[in-house]
């Protein structure tokens, strides 16, 4: 009886081996193999200087040094309106009043962007708050491009009451 069972196990093993022998495992044997840390980082040419004109560089300058590089031309304001729709409207509401779908769950509501408090601030101050966050306002520097923020500020200046 015991002998019979082990004969069955051997038969099963033979059948499974034969079945798997037909499988195509070629990719496992032909792929290039790398050991950990074997691949090397590219080396920069001698004399290269790294530089960045992106938002972290502006953050180091501080709000007082920032000037809006864009003019409030119709295309720029249109770009700002589009950016506002993507990045702000869900919190600050379609008209900037603070009643966006997401914004409604904030208490108090997101600031009314048409208010005296916001409108009297310089573009540099607004850029800093919008880009790098302010109290409960999120840091958008990882989401928005520099020109998106500047153009949104021009759009905010023209928000109807
Ligand atoms: C996730 C929600 C959210 C998004 C998205 C958001 N805001 Fe805000 N924002 C807030 C909240 C909340 C406040 C109020 C901050 C506070 O006083 O705690 C605020 C405050 C502000 C202020 C007032 C700063 C001050 O001096 O009081 C400005 C200006 C502003 N947001 C502009 C924008 C613009 C422009 C966008 C889009 C580019 C934007 N926000 C996107 C939630 C948001």
pLDDT tens-digit series, residues 63-99: 999 999 999 999 999 999 999 999 999 999 999 999 8
Question: Which atom of ligand 1 sits closest to the CA of residue 126?
Answer: 29
Residues in a beta bridge with 134: 137
Is residue 17 situated within a structural domain? no
Question: Is residue 126 in a domain?
Answer: yes
pTM of the complete model: 0.74
Q: In ligand 1, which atom is closest to the CA atom of 135?
A: 18
Question: Whole-number mean pLDDT of the chain?
Answer: 86
pLDDT at 117 over 80: yes
Location of structure tokens 């409960």:
136
Domain containing residue 107: 86-161
Q: 105 lies in a domain?
A: yes
* Closest to 156 (Cα-Cα) out of 120, 128, 132: 120
Ligand 1 center to 109 CA (angstroms): 10
Confirm whether 108 is domain-assigned: yes
Block residue for tokens 């709000």 = 63
- Which of the four pLDDT bands, split at 50, 70 and 90, describes residue 17? confident
How many domains are contained in the chain?
A: 1
CA terminus-to-terminus distance, the chain: 93
pLDDT value at position 126? Answer: 97
List helix spans (H) across 22-145: 26-30, 55-61, 74-87, 89-92, 116-119, 123-132
């Amino acid at each position: 009886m015991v002998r019979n069972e082990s004969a069955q196990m051997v038969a099963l093993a033979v059948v499974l081996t034969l079945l798997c022998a037909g499988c195509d495992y070629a990719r496992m044997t032909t792929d290039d193999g790398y050991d950990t840390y074997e691949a090397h980082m590219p080396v920069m040419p001698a004399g290269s200087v790294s530089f960045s004109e992106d938002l972290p560089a502006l953050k180091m300058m501080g709000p007082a040094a920032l000037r809006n590089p864009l003019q409030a031309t119709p295309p720029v304001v249109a770009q700002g309106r589009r950016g506002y729709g993507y990045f702000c409207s869900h919190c600050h509401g379609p008209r900037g009043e603070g009643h966006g779908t997401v914004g409604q769950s904030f208490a108090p509501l997101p600031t009314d962007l048409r208010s005296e408090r916001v409108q009297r601030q310089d573009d540099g101050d607004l850029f800093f708050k919008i880009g790098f966050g302010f109290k409960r306002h999120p840091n958008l520097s990882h989401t928005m491009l520099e020109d998106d923020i500047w153009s949104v500020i021009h759009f905010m200046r023209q928000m109807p009451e």
